[in-house]
Amino acid sequence: MATAGRVDRARLTRRLHAATAAIALAVAVSCSRDDAAGDRQASGASQTATTVGAAACGDPSLWNVSDSAIGPIRIGAPADSVLHVCPGTRDSTVDYRNMETADTARMLFVPVGARDTVRVTIEPYEQRVGAIAVRSGPFRTADSLGIGTPITRWRGIAGVRVLYGDHSDDGAMVVPHHCGLIFAISGGDVPPADRTADAKTLVGWPDTVRITEIIVGPCSRE
């Protein structure tokens, strides 16, 4: 019985990861990185923001990306704790008609530095951080994967998998040693059949393909 419970929770976690990542990307597509506030519209999503403060916080180059966090914002943290990270955080409500687990979700926009924004999607039932996303700025993993990283960097990485669907128009990549991270890609013709792309497959992809979004979500290896 306990085993079944763990499996059900793992499945729920994967569905939540997909849903929160989809929301983060849907809203990110419609928002420029230095948009001050107001109402935003996106395909499949709408968002109304309330400003908590006015000042951006921190140096984005110091906000490292890990498998469970971007800077001080961590997966599973209480939603309200994010509001204290930066006085300029905007508290928003997102309507997402394709989401399986809820009709609306809470999203927080955390300004970092002069031009960059960290988008935080809140899991609707437990009100904890479910996904964190960035699409600009110097945010990097410990092995220097970040916005703008070219496909050439991925050709020597073992275990690369390609995802399609809501993550990106051109797809997204995941790797075993970064459980919880999704790297959305764009910038070239990525063959839709390459769902199990490996180092050899990536050799045939154009060098213009680059990381355009990083999404941090729950890690589940089950």
For 127-169, the pLDDT digits (tens) are 899 999 999 989 999 999 999 999 888 887 878 887 765 545 5
Q: Give the integer Cα–Cα distance in Å for 156 and 200.
A: 9
Q: Give the integer Cα–Cα distance in Å for 216 and 65.
A: 8
The pLDDT of residue 74: 93
H helix count then E strand count, the chain: 3, 12
Segments of the chain with pLDDT less than 50: 1-14, 16, 23-55, 99, 167
The pLDDT of residue 76: 94
Residue ranges per structural domain of the chain:
2-131, 151-216
Residue entry with tokens 């020597």: 156
The pLDDT of residue 134: 93
Backbone φ, ψ for residue 110 (5° rounding): -105, 110
Could you tell me the pTM of the whole model? 0.73
The pLDDT of residue 17: 52
Identify the H or E element spanning 121. Answer: strand 116-123
Q: Give the integer Cα–Cα distance in Å for 192 and 170.
A: 8
The pLDDT of residue 7: 38
The pLDDT of residue 207: 84
Question: How far apart, in Å, are the Cα atoms of 7 and each of 17, 68, 76, 218, 222?
Answer: 15, 21, 19, 15, 8
Tokens representing 39 are 């109402």
The pLDDT of residue 119: 93
Backbone φ, ψ for residue 191 (5° rounding): -55, 125
Q: Output Rg (C-alpha) for the chain, integer angstroms.
A: 17
The pLDDT of residue 80: 87
For residue 216, the cross-strand partners are 132, 181
